[in-house]
Amino acid sequence: MYRMEQKKVLHIIASLVLVIMTLSISGCVNILDSSSQTTPDVVEGRDIEIDVIEGDKVDGEEDKVDEDKNDDEGKGEREDNEDGDLDIGGDRQDIKLVPYSGPVQHIFFHPLIAYPELTFDGDAQEKGFNDYFVTIDEFNKVIQSLYEKDFILIDINLLIEEVEEDGKKVVKRRELMLPEGKKPLIISIDDMNYYEYMRENGMIYKLILDDKGQIATYSITPEGEERVAYDNEIIPLLDRFVERHPDFSFNGAKGVIALTGYEGVLGYRTNEIDSPNFEKEKEEALLVINKLKEMGWTFASHGYGHRDAARISLEALVKDTERWKVEVGSLVGPTKTYIYPYGSRVLPGDPKFQSLVDAGFQILCAVGSQAYEKMGPNALMQDRRHIDGIGLIQQRERFLDLFDSYKLIDYDKRPEKYLEGIKK
C-alpha cells in the first residue's frame, strides 16, 4: 500500500496548493477548471479523474472531449455466444437470497464511442477521448467479462435505508441480500448529455423512443445520414444484454445515469429555456426519461455546470445544486445520488458536504482505484472505478478482478500511437 500512502501525500500537497491558489484567485473558477482539463491527476492527487474531459462550463461554455463511433459491426450478436448459460433469472422465486458483506463494485463509463473515425481523427480532442472513453466493442466485452465473473447489477438505492432513531431520520447502510454466489455491481454513465463536443467527435446525438416506444439512439453518421440504432450506446446494449441474461440484473436493475444540465439532458437542449423548441425538447426528454425508469435505470446529479465541488465556493456549489434541481431534477425526479464531476469530493465536516446532504443526496460518489465505501453523517460515500482508455491501456493489473483489458482493447479502432507497450 506504499502507493496509496504516496497518493495520500500527493493529495495533501495538491490540496494545499489548491487552497493557496483558490485564495489568490478566488472567483476564477473557470480558469482553474479549464486548466484541470489537461492535468486532472495532478490537480486531484487521485489517480484518475475521468471526467476531466467534459469541462464544466455552466454558463455558455462548452467542453471538449469525446469519442467516436464504431457502429455496430456485429456487436449486437456478441453476447449470444454463451446463451447456453443464461436465463436463471426467469423464475426469481427459486433464487436463494443470502446476506452479502463483500465489496460493492461501482464502475463508470462515459457515453460510448459510436463512430471511431470521428473520434480518432487526429484533432486536438482525440487524446482526451482515447483516455476517457471506450468503444462499443470494448464495452460489450467488459460486460461479458463481468457477467462471467458472477457480478449482478443492483439498484444503487439498495445500499442505504432511512431509519428513525430517537425521533430523527437517519441514513444507514443497508445489508444487501443477493442471489447466492453473485457479487453486486453498480454501473454509472457520466455526462449522458450528448454535449456538442461529443456529437462532433463520434458519439450519438440523443436517446429517442422508436415507433414501438422502445429506447433507441439517434445519430448522424460520418456520411451525414440520420441513423436510428440500438447497438451503439450503453443503454440499449445493456438492456438487451439483461434481456438475454436476466441473472445479470437483480430485480431488473440497470445503471445510474449521471446528468449535468448546462447543455440539457440526454441530447435534448432543455437548458435553452427561451428557445421556441423548449417545450418540445422537454416533452420528448420526459418520455425518454420515463421509459428509462421503467427499464430499471436511475438518475444522479452530476452537478448543473460540471463544477468541481472541492474547488468552488460553498455559495457556488449551493447555487449549482439548486439550478440542477430546477432544470434537471424537475425532469428526472428526486434522486439521492450525487456523482461528483472530475472525480472530486468533499468530506464530512466541510459545509459543502453538508450542503449536498441538505439538498437530499445520501449517496455521494467520487472516483478511486478500488471499491471503497464509508458511511458519513447521513450519507454513504463511495468510490467508482473508471472504465476508460487510461484504465484499459495503462492499468491492466488494477482491473484484473473485473476483466483482462488487453483482451478487450479495440486495437483496430484506437490509434496505434496510444497503444505502445501493450502486449496483445
Binding site for Zn ion (CB under 5 A): 51, 54, 190-191, 341
C-alpha distances (whole Å) from 213 to each of 13, 169, 197, 203, 210 are: 52, 39, 28, 22, 5
For residue 342, the minimal CB distance to Zn ion (Å) is 7
Q: Where are the alpha helices (DSSP H) in 265-387?
A: 278-294, 314-324, 330-332, 351-358
Q: How far apart are CA 371 and CA 225, in angstroms?
A: 42
Closest approach of Zn ion to the CB of residue 307, in Å: 10
Smallest distance from Zn ion to CB 325, Å: 18
Local structure of 373: helix, strand or coil: strand
Radius of gyration of the chain (CA): 20
Which three cell numbers mark 73? 459491426
Which C-beta is closer to Zn ion: that of 52 or that of 142?
A: 52
Shortest spacing between CB 341 and Zn ion, in angstroms: 5
Whole-angstrom CA distances from 422 to 137, 176, 271, 392 are 18, 39, 43, 10
Our CB check for Zn ion shows the closer of 52 and 402 to be 52
Residue number, 188 or 378, with CB nearest to Zn ion: 188
With respect to Zn ion, which residue has the nearer C-beta, 329 or 343? Answer: 343
Nearer to Zn ion, 192 or 253 (CB): 192
Q: How far is the CB of 244 from Zn ion (least distance, A)?
A: 30
d(CA 26, CA 162): 38
- Are 107 and 383 contacting, i.e. CB atoms less than 8 angstroms apart? no
Q: Cell 480518432 identifies what position?
A: 120
Q: CB of 34: closest distance to Zn ion in angstroms?
A: 14
In the complex, minimum distance from the CB of residue 190 to Zn ion, in angstroms, rounded to a whole number: 4
Q: In whole angstroms, give the CA distance from residue 364 to residue 382.
A: 6
Which residue's CB is nearer to Zn ion, number 305 or number 341?
341
**Complex with Zn ion: residue 114 or 192, whichever CB lies closer:** 192
Q: Is 73 within 8 Å of 274 (Cβ atoms)?
A: no
How far is it, in rounded angstroms, from Cα 187 to Cα 166?
35
Least Å distance, CB 302 to Zn ion, is 5
Residue whose C-beta lies closest to Zn ion: 51
The rounded Cα 210 to chain-centroid distance in angstroms is: 24
Query: Quick one: 132 or 248, whose CB is closer to Zn ion?
Result: 132
What's the closest the beta carbon of residue 293 comes to Zn ion, in angstroms?
Answer: 21
**Cβ proximity to Zn ion, 249 vs 344, nearer residue:** 344
| Backbone torsions φ then ψ of 247, nearest 5 degrees | -80, 5
Q: How many CB atoms lie within 10 A of CB 225?
A: 8
CA–CA distance from 285 to each of 166, 193, 260, 280, 290 (Å)? 42, 11, 14, 8, 9
